[in-house]
């Protein structure tokens, strides 16, 4: 998956910057979609950067139900 963005604002934060961007296009391999056309995150290996570390994001740990209550799944 590749997300194309245009940076709208760059905010200094201590020794880093926060970039606020507008998404202008999304590209995704169709093999990563389920039968309903939604992204199956268990087939990808999304990551996030935390200073000095990279973390995996391919396991759902919470979700919001129809009443907007957060539900935590067992690990």
d(CA 57, CA 41): 8
1-14: pLDDT as tens digits: 889 999 999 999 98
H/E/C letters for each residue in 14-36? CCEEEEEEEEEEEECCHHHECCC
d(CA 38, CA 24): 19
CATH superfamily of 2-72: Electron Transport, Fmn-binding Protein; Chain A (2.30.110.10)
Sequence spans of domains, the chain: 2-72
Q: Is residue 42 very low, low, confident or very high in pLDDT (cuts 50, 70, 90)? A: confident
Max CA pair span of the chain: 44
The reported pLDDT for the residue numbered 48 is 83
d(CA 59, CA 44): 10
Map tokens 């990279």 to a residue: 54
């Amino acid at each position: 998956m590749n997300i194309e963005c245009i940076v709208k604002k760059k905010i200094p934060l201590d020794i880093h910057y926060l970039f606020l961007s507008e998404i202008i296009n999304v590209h995704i391999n169709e093999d990563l979609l389920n039968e309903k056309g939604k992204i199956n995150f268990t087939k990808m290996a999304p990551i996030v950067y935390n200073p000095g570390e990279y973390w995996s994001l391919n396991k759902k740990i919470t979700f919001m139900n129809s009443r907007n209550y957060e539900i935590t799944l067992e690990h």
